[in-house]
Structure formats: C-alpha cells, structure tokens
C-alpha cells in the first residue's frame, strides 16, 4: 500500500541541464508536499515544499509543481550541478491532523555528470 510513489529509481543528467524528478500519490487527503535530499550516511535535508492551494513554488534553482487532479508533483532543478547528486525523496502529509507525520516515496537517485 504505497501511497507515495517515485517510479524512477535513478536519473542521470548532464551538468547545466534540467533535472526533473517525479512523484505520484494516491491518498487524496494529502495536502502538503515536501522534497528532501539525502547524501549517503546522512539524514535527509529539507529542500522545498508546496501546499495544495498552490500549483507552483520556486526557491532558487528548485521549483516544485503540483497537479492535484493528476495527483502528481515534480521537482525541477535548473541548472543541475554535480553537487546535486544525491537521493531525492518526495514526502506527503495531511495538514488536518496535528502530528505532521510524513509519508515518503522510495526515492530517486540523481546523478549529475560534469
């Protein structure tokens, strides 16, 4: 019963190009979405988030797009840099609860080649 799905286990892009990471969810109660980045042997670090009242949120090189009707979100990184190479996790939550617990996807390993 995977409520958050990242169907691409890995993605490889060239430095300077755009990286697009995708995420789908099945639970229509989810209304807040986050992206985390994780390096080996470290904990996840927060990248960017979006509420369901928006369809786009931008922070520097990172933009998250949300398509509620398709239950799909994507993270765009442009331009991609070698230091962006990491595992990216999509996470979702229901803000109507009070516990802020997150449901994570399995992650996508991004490799940015110099």
Q: Which is nearer to another protein, 15 or 47 (CB)?
A: 47
2 or 67: CB nearest another protein: 2
Using CB under 8 A as the binding rule, whether residue 85 contacts another protein is answered as no
Which residue of 46, 54, 58, 59 would you call a contact of another protein, by CB under 8 A? Answer: 46
Find the shortest distance in angstroms from Cβ 114 to another protein. Answer: 27
Angle, vertex CA 60, rays to CA 34 and CA 114, nearest 5: 95
Q: Which of residues 3-22 bind another protein (CB under 8 A)?
A: 4, 6
Which residues inside 51-80 make contact with another protein, applying CB under 8 A? none
CA dist 52 and 69 (Å) reads 11
**Coil vs helix vs strand at 82:** helix
Measured from the CB atom, is 17 or 46 closer to another protein?
A: 46
When asked if residue 1 is in the footprint of another protein (CB under 8 A), the reply is no
Strands 86-93, 45-51: pairing is unpaired
Beta carbon nearer to another protein, 7 or 113: 7
Q: What is the DSSP string of 84-114?
A: G-EEEEEEEE-TTSSS---EE---EEEEEE-
CA dist 113 and 79 (Å) reads 12
Which of residues 13, 21, 34, 110 is near another protein by CB under 8 A? 34
């Amino acid at each position: 019963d995977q409520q958050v799905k990242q169907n691409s286990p890995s993605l490889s892009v060239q430095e300077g190009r755009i990286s697009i990471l995708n995420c789908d969810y099945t639970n229509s109660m989810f209304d807040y979405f986050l992206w985390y980045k994780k390096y080996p042997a470290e904990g996840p670090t927060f990248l960017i988030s979006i509420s369901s009242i928006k369809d786009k949120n931008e922070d520097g090189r990172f933009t998250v797009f949300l398509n509620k009707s398709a239950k799909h979100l994507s993270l765009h990184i442009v331009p991609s840099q070698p230091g962006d190479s990491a595992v990216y996790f999509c996470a979702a939550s229901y803000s109507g609860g009070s516990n802020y617990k997150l449901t994570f996807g399995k992650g996508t390993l991004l490799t940015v080649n110099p």
